[in-house]
Amino acid sequence: MLLEIKGVHVAYGPVRAVNGVDVHIDEGEIVSIIGANGAGKSSLLGGILGLAPVTKGTIEFDGADIRSWGPPKRVRSGVALVPEGRRILISLTVEENLLMGAYHRSDRQGIANDLAAIYQRFPNLAARKYFLATVLSGGEQQMLAIGRAIMARPKLMLLDEPSLGLSPLFVEEVFRVILELNQRGIAILLVEQNTRLALDCSTRSYILNLGTVVRTGPSRDLTDSDDLITSVLASRQSPNGNTRTVDSANNSRRFSA
């Protein structure tokens, strides 16, 4: 087993985002996490990488307990995140953004080879590698964010809403890249609100609602489940008591090429 999460809670002070979640992913798998805005999906990914406060539970990656590790050590161990909203550095060039993903590496030839492979896969990035990243379209920025994660040479890639704000053409390209990465041996943990794409792409799925896993199983078996329908249609709300859920999902979605 590559990643095993048991009883994980993520909380921001009194605000609880994730409540006792169990998730596992094996080497070479694509696993999706599905749920409405506010379900806790992004917070769960943040907890895995050490960017969100895990208050309870265990996280084991590649046989090691990583709960006490900071984000840099988790990246060095083989976990990479493609964050929601891409979060590229627009004050840096395309190539400088890519090299940020390899900040922990010292194998210069390997870095050069990986850069060349990314430019071959994404010719639009190659044509603009010395331009500031601000010149890229939304879809090109997503490719840059994925390329930056590839430069870390991960065993596990966490993707947070990769289709967010993209035109249908770029959405199709992003998911084609996800499948290619998986075929190269990279395990994928995919957070995605486009439930059809997520289910079609993954082998197993978890349905998250108000910070709790309400159902899990083979993706093909969840397509028409009542839990899936309820989760997708759920509005952002708080359950009874003081428990609230938060997530970093942006409700406004602009489509750009």
pLDDT tens for 30-61 read 999 998 888 999 999 999 999 999 999 999 99
Is residue 20 in a domain? no
253: in domain:
no
Q: Chain centroid to CA 239: how far?
A: 26
Q: Which residue has the tokens 């998250």?
A: 208
* pLDDT reported for residue 87: 87
pLDDT value of residue 169? 87
Residue at 208 is within a domain: yes
Phi, psi (5° rounding) for residue 22? -115, 125
- Retrieve residue 211's tokens: 């910070």
89 lies in which domain range?
A: 26-37+71-233
Q: Residues 125-130: what's their mean pLDDT? A: 95
Q: What is the CATH number of the domain that holds 84?
A: 3.40.50.300
- The region of weakest confidence among 42-56, 146-160, 210-224 is 210-224
Q: Is residue 136 part of a domain?
A: yes
| Residue 195 in domain | yes
Is the pLDDT at 241 greater than 50, yes or no?
Answer: no
Domain assignment present for residue 246? The answer is no
- Average pLDDT (54-70) is 96
> Is residue 61 included in any domain, yes or no?
no
Q: How far apart are CA 15 and CA 155, in angstroms?
A: 32
Q: Is residue 15 in a domain? A: no
Number of domains the chain is built from: 1
Residue 112: strand pairing partners: none
pTM greater than 0.75 (yes/no):
yes
